[in-house]
Structure 1
């Protein structure tokens, strides 16, 4: 596998991360700040760099490269596969009656199942129900297919997200990349590093990903009481205090971030579903815990691998980025150190991470995790 990486900051030229080599028929992942991806000539510009490239765009809260975390920029990772093949499928939900489960189900069904080893998903992140999306993708999965990826981001603006394949980035788009190959080896892991605190409450009223009541009280009012002075910074402030959710039909608890608030109904809008009668606790963390969790994820993803990874897809969460602040590169540095030389790192900070729990098959929507997928040919 051959790879090339480039970074472009606002009002600057493209700079190479490492050497500049010619690639043939490459997969080109372009993650970047939403405002920069709205440049009407962005696809044409990147097509000039990679004339025979298959170009996938996704807006991000920050981009991850083999060197560092890039912000207010665009990062390109181009990959030429020597023994494997990839196929790209898309779906758009902007002008449809959104059924997130059906969207996920139909997207995975577009792929020929024969020889399909892995699917990487870059999904719109503004209004899709990530829980239903991942359930739909898993429902199509009959052969233990690994699916990972993430929901696109828009920093703390929460205005809109963009994605596309071989055209200018646009709203409502989902892109899935299917990988085929006899010798393709794929492994993954996720870790969070967040700790529950405070009283455990019961979800007494919810609808899909909207949480109305906890212990019979308006959810937004309770949340504001916890945040105190920080409540004025909602919904952004909520990313520092996600929820640990336990439900009777799930073996493991899952983390849910608040992406928006509904003042009129005193409700909070989560990145994924929250079922009535679930138990909920707030969570907190610090820089060291987040960095340590990323290190553990990298080590776990390497366990039982036969070959050294050549590419690493990293999807982390905007909430982790906010906690890390000026030290945001530390969790990525931990991963790079564990993986060692030879692995190209590509990824982004998202509104939700897509992966199974470690040791499981069905992909789920996670929040506040570092998701690592390692690939070799």
Structure 2
């Protein structure tokens, strides 16, 4: 399997780059496309469709390719993977049907190959990422290999899109199902955010809405303990929580693992927090502060840990990195991306997400925030 990465700032320019990539006889069957909402991603999709290339696409909150960070651009990875080794699924959903849609995807993956792996992207703002993971596991019937990210829309927080050949939508689930008997798929989701203070209890919640923490309004608790503020618009009940990327909740699992939950919106009247994933009532949590720069070293080290040996390489790398990492690390973010790529020494494409899907370092599938999820592909 061969992979080529290209980038451009217009539909016309990306068409030229594709033509250049295939001029030597290279015949891609699959395109991984990550594009800013500022770009005409529909035209790009139409162009790839005419070339009979299968599309796995998502809009972004920033893009990167081979260690270089882009903004407002199109990045693409072209692969000549055998069409018999993968299957593309696009399923429309809603906030009320997320779990059932994800169950359907899990069942589809189970039937697709004896040993499938899923790389997914989800659109929409209010989709509960944890229901995506839970649904896939339920539909699959056991623990499956799942990695991916939530689409972005350049921090507008209105309509992130996923797209494939002749299909696109915000509230949708896109999945690249790969035959792991033919393609080795391995990855890891890792974070580095620092927990502070004592453990607290979520005393009232419903899905991804946290109403009270230690019997006090959740929004007031977060503002008090972290010293942050939320701009209240008297004309709006639901308001964006712009600081949420920096100060997420750390949710403690019974198995000793922790996952991050970003509080993307606040309800100014109910004084509640609306998270990107479920926070069960009774959960133990801690507040978080942005990581120190040594978190980059932790991410690189943990990404290297999934290799069988130091010399092992990949044919292609896909990276889903939370936009919070870019906001927190600034120019140093390119260092993390470049170092992770160097671990595998392979072409890389990725984007800054609104949430990440993947196995934690203890091996369980989770929906994450503020994490870096790396997927390495290698034909057997």
Instruction: State TM-score, norm by structure 1.
Output: 0.89
**Aligned counterpart in structure 1 of residue 243 of structure 2, from 218, 223, 237:** 237
CA separation in 2, counterparts of 1:82 and 1:45?
21
CA separation in 2, counterparts of 1:153 and 1:71?
12
Which secondary structure does the structure 2 equivalent of 1:134 belong to? helix
Counterpart residue number, 2:205: 206
Preserved CA contact (<8 Å) 1:294 1:332: no
CA separation in 2, counterparts of 1:263 and 1:145?
39
CA change 1:333–1:230 in 2 (3 A) is farther
**Aligned counterpart in structure 2 of residue 264 of structure 1, from 261, 269, 280:** 269
Is it true that 1:2 corresponds to 2:2 in the alignment? yes
Deviation at 1:88, TM superposition (A): 0.6
Q: State how 1:103-182 maps to structure 2 within 5 Å.
A: 103-111=101-109, 112-142=111-141, 144-167=143-166, 169-180=168-179, 182=181
CA change 1:34–1:90 in 2 (3 A) is same
Deviation at 1:327, TM superposition (A): 2.7
CA separation in 2, counterparts of 1:287 and 1:26?
41
Q: State how 1:311-322 maps to structure 2 within 5 Å.
A: 311-322=316-327
Which secondary structure does the structure 1 equivalent of 2:204 belong to? strand
Which secondary structure does the structure 2 equivalent of 1:36 belong to? coil
Preserved CA contact (<8 Å) 1:208 1:275: yes
Ranges of 4+ aligned residues in structure 1 off by more than 6 Å: none
CA separation in 1, counterparts of 2:74 and 2:188?
26
Q: Which runs of 5+ in 2 are unaligned?
A: 233-239
CA separation in 2, counterparts of 1:216 and 1:165?
45
Q: Which runs of 5+ in 1 are unaligned?
A: none
Preserved CA contact (<8 Å) 2:123 2:172: yes
Deviates more, 1:298-307 or 1:104-113: 298-307
CA separation in 1, counterparts of 2:112 and 2:48?
31
CA separation in 1, counterparts of 2:294 and 2:154?
22
CA separation in 2, counterparts of 1:102 and 1:135?
10
CA separation in 2, counterparts of 1:149 and 1:41?
24
Counterpart residue number, 1:86: 86
CA separation in 1, counterparts of 2:181 and 2:228?
56
CA separation in 1, counterparts of 2:143 and 2:198?
38
Counterpart residue number, 2:21: 20
Q: Report Cα offsets for 1:29-72 as digits up to 9, x if no partner.
A: 111112325x6533224445xx0200122011122312412211
Counterpart residue number, 2:304: 299
CA separation in 1, counterparts of 2:309 and 2:210?
40
Counterpart residue number, 2:376: 374
Instruction: State TM-score, norm by structure 2.
Output: 0.88
Q: Report Cα offsets for 1:206-254 as digits up to 9, x if no partner.
A: 111001111111111122234546534951211111111124x443121
